[in-house]
Structure 1
């Protein structure tokens, strides 16, 4: 069995990163969660902050803006349902 490749120096908690990747999460999402967990206590990471409406209630313009903030490729050609799916999967 080949050895797993290191995720790189930007990932602060490699163990959590690998667990999240094994669960099927994207590299970006796994790195975000692993780094957030290492910056605070693990119980704080899962706590809900403020409230926000469901993506289904957002306008296409707002969805595209949010998709741009997190770096989703191809967002300009996506319709609302595609944007919502991409944001939920990121």
Structure 2
């Protein structure tokens, strides 16, 4: 009987989304997303998301050997990287 991967084990990449290798945008009500679909939403490569999940810097879901991301976890990732707006005066640009 196969065992679930433990800490530090490699996570297998998901199979391509279609025969052409293109990733389709997720349906708005889709609960879990592949790394490629999540990457489309966040405008980052799916490989970056895989690395973040493997390093424990991002929540993810392992169903069998398939790595998936919940939309709520993507929202939390964006919130954790949010920078406050600056309210101070802008410095003038140097002229020619």
- TM-score, reference length from structure 1: 0.27
**Higher strand fraction (1 or 2):** 2
**Higher helix fraction (1 or 2):** 1
Q: Specify the structure having the higher radius of gyration (Cα).
A: 2
Higher relative contact order (CA 8 A, sep 6+): 2
